[in-house]
Amino acid sequence: LAGCFAVRGERTSGAFIGLAAAFQPTVLLFVPLLWFTGRRRAAASTGITFAGATALAWAAMPHDSFTYWVHHLAGVGLGGRADDLANQSLHGALLRLGLTGPLEIVVFFALAAAVAVFGMRRAVHHARDGQLLLAVAITGCVVVAVSPTSWKHQLLWVLLAAVGRVGTKQSSRYVWPVAVVLVMTLPAKMMVPNVDVLHPVRDNVVLLAALAAALVVPFLSRTSEHYRAPVPTQYAPKAQTRFHWAPLLRRVATRPNLLLELLLIRVVYAAYQRTRLEATGSRASAEEHARQILSVEEALFLDVEHWFNHAVVGIGWLRAFFDFYYTSFHFVVPLTVLGLLYWRRPADYRWARTAIGFTTVLALVGFFFYPLAPPRLMPGLGIIDTIHGVQDFSRPDYGRLTELANQYAAMPSLHFGWSLWCGLTIAIVAPKAWMKILGLMHPFFTVLAIVATGNHWVLDAVGGAMVVGAGFGLTHLLTGPRTTAPRKGRGELSEQPPTTDRLATAVPPNGAGATGEGGGATGDGGDRGGA
């Protein structure tokens, strides 16, 4: 970086780059970048410095130099095993995929040559375009991919690639830099779900980011009309609310970028999952809190857990139904609701997504400050765990179950909370009465399932309802009333401007057409969305 930007004089800058190449030989890929962009003296100086420093090292430390050039460049020696997850290079990825021996070497050299040729062509193109920093970043990403071993300090080249501008819309401009920063700062397990078929992606996520920057990400040229002036994001007018002191957030009137949305949802959920697992609490405090809950339920005549659990266990098909309902619909239904809203009603998607986000964050507070043992983990209560089987209460961790989830994250019940969010959202946005009724059936069956299986107290569902209400309330407070739009016919939106619960609003026209719940031409590129 100093050789490319800070040092004056081509020979001196080349000397700096040549010195860097003496420590990491694949940095020699900067030579063609310098040569084909008119800095030929710097390219020559780089080669001469590299050769001189390497010869000096051989003369001073022949044994160490032999070890470095023979063993380290073969992928072993310094920094650990070549197939370690920390080695985010093509060589490391091929080893992790099971290729070894001469075949792996041939495949590696072929792939490395292809990446070097096509990646350097892109780097030269962007350098000639006046984006030297981006060209340097692309070259660095090629270095990451083609080095036999690329350890953490070398991977910083990928972070530098965030300077590239991608997308003609302002809403899309953040996708690439956000993805790069998340890939470089978060564990791979937070970026990619822990599913067997996705393990090759998860294990090589930094390498894939480097290859994407080097080969496929469509960085904008400075000659593009959208380089400095992307298509602006359309915002609905500021909502009116009786709480004038509330710091209302601007409401985007168009469909959010799908890639960015999926990425953030995955990362936020992974953070929630990890935080929930850390908020364990002690077994003694969790059981004491459970006795408190049971006492309150007895005073309110709500202590039906034991009776209902044993009644369901005695009916085989009913037990199987509630076990299936508990284990299957917790994630499927919320994701389906979010997907349908994104596709059909973008404005409602933003509102609903924000509400469930606040709900989940508030639930984490309960998990931290009130660890609670569910009925199935209360000794002496006689609750039958219909899903996990009989628990050994003599073991503090109840076997392998606590490796998967925090067993004391019961108050509030997000199993019920998310189902209630689904039911309320469907009841609010669905156009047909039977759809609304069907949506509200989901939280009804969920509360029966969480009690029948012994996983929650009745008051846990009450806590879940409270955080859902607070989530919707905070959404209303910070974004104003939910945006609605009048309908026109079947599957179409009226050309009338969107309205809110209290005040008719309209998006300023600037050539983007009507906006609202996602219909017609939008300022986000004309994404289609019907009523």
What is the per-residue pLDDT for 471? 93
What does the mean pLDDT of the chain come to? Answer: 81
* Nearest alpha-carbon partner for 180 in 217, 139, 129: 217
Rounded distance between C-alpha atoms, residue 472 and residue 358, angstroms: 8
Specify burial of residue 262 (Cβ count, 10 A radius: 0-12, 13-18, 19+). exposed
Tell me which residue of 21, 23, 25, 19 sits closest to 7, measured CA to CA.
Answer: 19
In this prediction, residue 178 has a pLDDT band, given cuts at 50, 70 and 90, of confident
* pLDDT tier, 392 (very low <50, low <70, confident <90, very high otherwise): low
Which pLDDT belongs to residue 170? Answer: 82
Q: Which two tokens stand for residue 468?
A: 């859902």
Grouping H, G, I as helix, E, B as strand and the rest as coil, residue 481 is coil
Question: What pLDDT was estimated at residue 514?
Answer: 36
Predicted local confidence at residue 384, as pLDDT: 84
301-315, 319-333, 387-401, 440-454: range with lowest mean pLDDT: 387-401
Cα(484)–Cα(22) distance, rounded to whole angstroms? 63
Summarize pLDDT for 243-275 with one digit per residue, the tens: 555 555 666 666 777 777 887 787 777 777 777
Is the predicted pLDDT of residue 168 greater than 50, yes or no? yes
User: Domain locations in the chain?
Assistant: 2-216, 283-391+402-479, 485-531
Q: How far apart are CA 105 and CA 96, in angstroms?
A: 13
345-370 pLDDT tens trace = 887 888 898 899 899 889 988 888 88
Instruction: Please give the pLDDT value at position 281.
Output: 65
Q: Which amino acid is residue 398, in one-letter code?
A: Y
231 three-state secondary structure: strand
Q: Would you give the DSSP letter of residue 423?
A: H
Within 10 Å of residue 107's Cβ, how many Cβ atoms? 15
Cα distances (angstroms) measured from residue 341 to each of 30, 432, 464 = 48, 15, 23
Between 71 and 3, name the one with better pLDDT. Answer: 3
> Quick one: three-class SS letters along 19-68?
HHHHHCHHHHHHHHHHHCCCCHHHHHHHHHHHHHHHHHHHHHCHHHHHHH
Give dist(CA 326, CA 455) in Å, integer. Answer: 9
Would you say residue 500 has pLDDT above 70? no
pLDDT digits (tens, 9 = 90+) for 44-60: 999 999 999 999 999 99
% of the chain beyond a pLDDT of 70? 81
**305 pLDDT higher than 80:** yes
Cβ-based neighbours of 407, under 8 Å, separated by 6 or more: 373, 374, 377, 398, 401
Lowest mean pLDDT among 38-42, 147-151, 442-446, 484-488: 484-488
Per-residue DSSP letters for 242-304? S-TTS-PPPPB-SPPPHHHHHHHHHHHHHHHHHHHHH----HHHHHHHHHHHHHHHHHHT---
Q: Confidence band (pLDDT; 50, 70, 90) for 493?
A: very low
Residue 487: what pLDDT? 42
What pLDDT is stored for residue 248 in this prediction?
A: 56
Candidate from 58-67, 379-388, 443-452 with smallest mean pLDDT: 379-388
CA-wise closest residue to 153 among 108, 88, 211: 88
- Binning pLDDT at 50, 70 and 90, where does residue 399 land? very low
Q: Which residue has the higher pLDDT, 445 or 490?
A: 445
Determine which helix (DSSP H) or strand (DSSP E) holds 440, and give its type and residue range.
helix 433-452
